[in-house]
Amino acid sequence: MAQENGHLFSSGHTACAGCGQAIAARLVVDVTGKNTIIANNTGCLEVFSTKYPESAWGVPWIHSLFENAAAVASGIEAALKFLGQKEKTTVICQAGDGGTADIGLQALSGMWERGHDILSICYDNEAYMNTGVQRSGLTPFETSTSTTPVGKQSLGNPRPKKPMPEIAVAHGVAYVATASSGYPQDIQKKIKKAISIKGPKYIQIHVPCPLGWRHDSELTYDIAKLAVETGLYPLIEYENGKLTAVRKLSKIKPVEEYLKFQGRFKHIINSPEQIKQIQAIADYNIERYGLRPEPVNPSAPQPVNTQTKV
C-alpha cells in the first residue's frame, strides 16, 4: 500500500528526532517497492516503526525475536519459491548492528550459507541503542558506551569493529557493500544494484544515533558524511568476493573533525595519544581500500573500477 506522499515507510513513527536509522530504512524500502516482504530483528527500528497497534510500514513486515529474522526470512523466501512467486518479490532481512554482528549472526550465517535470495541490511549505529547504548561487535575502538564507560581503568571499548563485510564475503555472499545515511543517493543506488543480483546480498549502512552518540539532532547528516570523509567508514563494494568499487576521498579530513561533535568520543578529543590511535585506524582503511584520489604508486596493480568521488 503506497502512501499519499509516495513513501512505503510513513510519518508518525516514534524514532528520536534526527534518527539516522529512520532515514536509511525509508530509503531502502522506497527502492525495493511494494512487492517487498521484510523480516526485522528486535531493535530500535522494530520498536519505533511498530508501536502496537500502529505500523509505519507500507509493505508486509514481520518481527519475531531478536536473533531470528534471518531464519524467518529464509522461511519466507522458501515459501515464495514453492509458490512460484519469488521472482516478483524482494525479501529483506534487517537488523541493527547488535542484531546483525552478534545475536543474529548464527541465523544470518546459515541464511547466507544456504544461498537464499535475500537482501540483508544492517543499520549500523554502533551499539545496542534500544536498551541504552551497550557495546556491540560493531562499536568502534575506544567508544564510550554504558558497558564500556571511560574511567581510571578504561579508555572506552577495547576492541575494534568486527569486519562484518568481510565475514559476509567469506560466506560467498554475491554482493556486499557499505553505505551511509550521509549519502542517500548512494544508498539507493546500492539497493538497486543489490536487488538486480540473485542470491544473498549484504549492505551495512552507517546510521548516526543522536541519543547514543550524543550529538545534536541536526548533525546527523554532517556526522555521517564526516565518518566517510575521514576514512573511518569507507564506502566499498565487493562483487563475487572481489573489491570492485570504493568511494574515493577528494580531501581526506583528520579524524578529530568527526570525533569532536560526539559525546561518545569526548574523552578522546582531550587525549592526543588516543587521537593518534583512531587516526591510525582511518589511515589503515585509506591504504587498505585505496581511498586516496590518486594512486600512491602508479605502477602498482590497481583495484578494479574505482568510482570517483562526487
Partner 1 sequence: MFGPLISKAATAKANKTGSWRVEVKPKFLQKDCIACKMCVLICPEACVSGEAKNTYLCDYEFCKGCGNCAAICPKKDISMVKEEEK
Ligand X SMILES: Cc1ncc(C[n+]2csc(CCOP(=O)(O)OP(=O)(O)O)c2C)c(N)n1
Q: How far is CA 143 from CA 79, 114, 128, 138, 226, in A?
A: 42, 35, 13, 11, 17
Residue 245 within binding range of ligand SF4, rule CB under 6 A: no
CA–CA dist 249, 206 (Å, integer): 17
- Shortest separation between residue 264's beta carbon and ligand SF4, angstroms: 12
Residue 212 within binding range of Mg ion, rule CB under 5 A: no
Residue 9 within binding range of ligand X, rule CB under 6 A: no
CA–CA dist 113, 108 (Å, integer): 8
Among Mg ion, ligand SF4, partner 1, none, partner that 106 touches (CB below 5 to 8 angstroms by kind): none
Site string for partner 1, 33-62 (x = CB under 8 A): ----------------xxxxxxxxxxx---
Return the C-alpha torsion angle 68, 69, 75, 76, nearest 10.
160
CB 309 within 8 A of CB 251: no
Peptide bond into 53 cis (omega under 30): yes
**Nearest to Mg ion of 73, 101 (CB atom):** 101
CA–CA dist 169, 249 (Å, integer): 24
Start-end of H helices in 136-199: 164-170, 184-195
Judged by CB under 6 A, which of 50, 89, 130, 220 binds ligand X? 130
**Nearest to ligand X of 32, 125 (CB atom):** 125
Span interacting with ligand SF4, options 146-154, 209-217, 228-236, 298-306, rule CB under 6 A? 209-217
Determine the 3-state secondary structure of 154 from DSSP: strand
Site string for ligand SF4, 73-112 (x = CB under 6 A): ----------------------------------------
Judged by CB under 5 A, which of 41, 68, 120, 125 binds Mg ion? 125
Residue 17 within binding range of partner 1, rule CB under 8 A: yes
Three-point CA angle 180, 274, 152, nearest 5°? 115
Residue 301 within binding range of partner 1, rule CB under 8 A: no
